[in-house]
Chain A
Amino acid sequence: MGHPYSFEEIPGVTWIPVPEPFISVDASRCTGCGDCVRVCLGDVFRLRNEKAEVASLDRCMECAACLFICEAGAIHFSWPARGSGYRSEWG
């Protein structure tokens, strides 16, 4: 599983590396509206060729804002396997 990692600009949180991606974009449904980019505080998404794609799940806080905002139903959202993802003592 590797070692937990953290980011200086997001203190108080560690991330356990996830074995497989748990958020993905269905390109056939994506309209390229960019709303997922606008709501994600973890900079997970980017637009390329007028479609959204997952750039990196490293800073994902699993808040699901992307799932709620995508009215095209293009975002597949699940949980990282085996209880991993972010951890914080200070919520």
Chain B
Amino acid sequence: MMAGAEYDVIVVGAGFGGPVAARECAQAGLSTLLLERASTPGQKVISSCTIPFYGFLFGPEWIRNGEPPIERPISGIRNIFIRDGKTYRVDNSFRVPAPLGPRIAIGYTVYCRPFCTWLAERAVEAGAELRTSTAAVDVIKEGGAVRGVITDGGEELRCRILIDAEGVQNLVATRAGIRKPYRPEVIELCLLYDFEMGKEDIDRVCGYNLEYFWAMPEEGMIAPLGRGSAVYIFPYRESIHMTIGQFLKADDGEVLNVKLLDRYYEKFFQTDRWRDLYEPRVKLRARIWDTCPIYAGLYPDQRNMPTFGEGILLLGDAAGLEAAAIADGVPTAWFSAQIAAQTAIESLRAGDTSASFLSRYDRRLREHPLITALISDPHRRDLAQAAKSGDEAEMRRRVNRGWGIRLMGHLAPPVMRAVYREIRRDARVVKSWLDMFNRYWRLYA
């Protein structure tokens, strides 16, 4: 083993959460190392990514006030229902009405590599050291406490606190002995396509909407409802992203054959909307896949796995903070990264990195107005009931509740609580929120 440098904090993973934690720690004057196994940050993060507005509003203000590489503002969700391969109904009840939308957006689509690279650059500006092409393959433990990592090059890197931001695979936390790999019931495997498409065509076909395609199971177009995603199409600047996902295992114990994803795509490519509107205008650019711990918050044993230990804090996907209903993990990765950094700073100032000191991290996660609400919402899973009942109207009702206007029923209360909390802290934040919407609109235009 080669002995390497020693740091106050090592952050493992430069995806969406890691750079945020690294920046806050470096800004507070802590010597901070950010480790990334890919050759550039975000290169191995796979998402059809729309970052919802609340990630920007309640996440770090330097992201909100900066100019991150966004692709396109999104102002609504269009739920498209398919029967016999044809669109028979569209629910677009959830949208910001013109003229506010799309300037006031419900989210922004982004590519992971440029966005995470931008975040990591901000961490480096604040004084963090970034090392790419370096994986942490094991942890250094002393008397039960984590004291650093061992890299794939065999180097020992020591630290007083390790922040684990390595995403879903969670190898460091399992090596540290504080977590077990996720159960297959909570993991969705997503197969994603990226297509080039001209801006004018995108404007005409999807505008500023996300498109979700829904069908009953006999359509063979998506994983049996509740066992996977809808088909998502996300518009970007001059491309579209498209995803279908399926869980690895159903609640009843059946292992689901994810190779069916290819067959769902075949069926989807025969639907009228795809054939008539998209297919003539697109060119395939990429096909990639990744897992997502999207139900981790719905199963008590998974949700209650530790998020901290002696000398270690876990954030984002590594801590199971994916939003169960709407599939976003970026906002919760940002929120948890800030809380982790704040906890690490306090712990180093107090000279106490024990698990009992760090337990305040977990408490703060649970007290966050949005995190618990987002990870514990069962709408997507509940769609299985519609499939079992064979009732299409029931499916549409459930889709409306999860992705239509009735989404507000469960999203609005925690968002309003977060708004209230921020305004009480400093009312000037409202101006900075509005400035952000304007700035991002200009960035796009």
- A residues with CB within 8 A of B: 9-13, 35, 38-39, 41, 61-65, 67-69, 71, 77-79, 81-83, 85-91
Contact A11 B257 (CB under 8 A): no
Q: Which of A10, A68, A83, A86 contacts B291 (CB 8 A)?
A: A68
Taking the closest CB of chain B, its distance from the CB of A68, in whole angstroms, is: 5
Q: Which of B38, B168, B189 contacts A83 (CB 8 A)?
A: B38
Interface of B is mostly: loop
Inside 8 A of A77's CB, which chain B residues have their CB?
169, 171
Taking the closest CB of chain B, its distance from the CB of A69, in whole angstroms, is: 5
Q: Which of B135, B152, B184, B290 contacts A71 (CB 8 A)?
A: B184
Contact B287 A10 (CB under 8 A): yes
> Which one of B41-49, B318-326, B413-421 is at the A interface?
B41-49
Contact B194 A68 (CB under 8 A): no
Say yes or no: is B78 at the interface (Cβ < 8 Å to chain A). no
B183: nearest residue on chain A (CB-CB)? A68
A61: nearest residue on chain B (CB-CB)? B289
11 contacts between A and B (CB under 8 A): A39-B248, A41-B189, A61-B289, A62-B44, A63-B289, A63-B291, A64-B291, A68-B182, A69-B184, A69-B249, A91-B42
Inside 8 A of A90's CB, which chain B residues have their CB?
111, 194, 285-286, 288
Assuming the A-B contacts A63-B189, A67-B181, A86-B44, are A11 and B287 also in contact, with contact meaning beta carbons closer than 8 angstroms in the complex? yes
The number of residues on chain B lying at the interface, defined by a beta carbon within 8 Å of a beta carbon of chain A, is: 47
Contact A88 B257 (CB under 8 A): no
Q: Which of A82, A85, A89 contacts B153 (CB 8 A)?
A: A82
Contact B39 A87 (CB under 8 A): yes
Assuming the A-B contacts A67-B169, A83-B39, A85-B44, are A91 and B291 also in contact, with contact meaning beta carbons closer than 8 angstroms in the complex? no
- B residues with CB within 8 A of A: 36-39, 42-47, 111-113, 132-135, 137, 152-153, 168-169, 171, 181-184, 187, 189, 191-192, 194, 248-249, 255, 257-259, 261, 284-291
Inside 8 A of A9's CB, which chain B residues have their CB?
287
Q: Which of A61, A65, A81, A82 contacts B288 (CB 8 A)?
A: A61
Inside 8 A of A78's CB, which chain B residues have their CB?
137, 171
Contact A82 B113 (CB under 8 A): no
- Distance in angstroms between the alpha carbons of A10 and B291 in the assembled complex: 17
- Distance in angstroms between the alpha carbons of A45 and B111 in the assembled complex: 31
Inside 8 A of B152's CB, which chain A residues have their CB?
79, 81-83
Contact B181 A12 (CB under 8 A): no
Assuming the A-B contacts A67-B181, A68-B182, A71-B184, are A11 and B45 also in contact, with contact meaning beta carbons closer than 8 angstroms in the complex? no
Taking the closest CB of chain B, its distance from the CB of A47, in whole angstroms, is: 14
Please name 12 further chain A to chain B contacts, defined as beta carbons within 8 Å, in addition to the given A12-B287, A39-B257, A88-B43, sorted by A numbering: A13-B286, A41-B289, A61-B290, A65-B248, A67-B169, A68-B248, A78-B137, A83-B36, A83-B135, A90-B286, A91-B42, A91-B113
Contact A65 B189 (CB under 8 A): yes
Assuming the A-B contacts A10-B287, A41-B191, are A82 and B133 also in contact, with contact meaning beta carbons closer than 8 angstroms in the complex? yes
Taking the closest CB of chain A, its distance from the CB of B362, in whole angstroms, is: 23
Inside 8 A of B37's CB, which chain A residues have their CB?
79, 83
- Distance in angstroms between the alpha carbons of A68 and B119 in the assembled complex: 29
Inside 8 A of A65's CB, which chain B residues have their CB?
187, 189, 248, 258, 291
- Distance in angstroms between the alpha carbons of A41 and B133 in the assembled complex: 25
Assuming the A-B contacts A41-B289, A64-B168, A83-B39, are A11 and B255 also in contact, with contact meaning beta carbons closer than 8 angstroms in the complex? no
Inside 8 A of B39's CB, which chain A residues have their CB?
83, 87
- Distance in angstroms between the alpha carbons of A91 and B330 in the assembled complex: 14
Inside 8 A of A85's CB, which chain B residues have their CB?
44
Inside 8 A of A79's CB, which chain B residues have their CB?
37, 135, 137, 152, 171
- Distance in angstroms between the alpha carbons of A60 and B360 in the assembled complex: 39
- Distance in angstroms between the alpha carbons of A61 and B135 in the assembled complex: 16
Contact A12 B288 (CB under 8 A): yes
Contact A39 B258 (CB under 8 A): yes
Inside 8 A of B44's CB, which chain A residues have their CB?
62, 85-87, 91
Q: Which of A12, A39, A81 contacts B189 (CB 8 A)?
A: A39
Q: Which of B134, B182, B194 contacts A12 (CB 8 A)?
A: B194
Taking the closest CB of chain B, its distance from the CB of A44, in whole angstroms, is: 12
Contact A91 B45 (CB under 8 A): yes
Contact A38 B257 (CB under 8 A): yes
Inside 8 A of B259's CB, which chain A residues have their CB?
38, 41
Q: Which of A11, A62, A86, A87 contacts B285 (CB 8 A)?
A: A11
Inside 8 A of B113's CB, which chain A residues have their CB?
89, 91
With most chain B CB atoms within 10 A of its CB, the pick from A9, A64, A78, A86 is: A64
Q: Which of A68, A81, A82 contacts B187 (CB 8 A)?
A: A68
Taking the closest CB of chain A, its distance from the CB of B237, in whole angstroms, is: 13
Taking the closest CB of chain A, its distance from the CB of B43, in whole angstroms, is: 6
Would you list the 8 A-B pairs with minimal beta carbon distance, nearest first?
A: A12-B286, A83-B133, A90-B286, A91-B46, A90-B194, A79-B135, A64-B169, A81-B152
Taking the closest CB of chain B, its distance from the CB of A24, in whole angstroms, is: 15
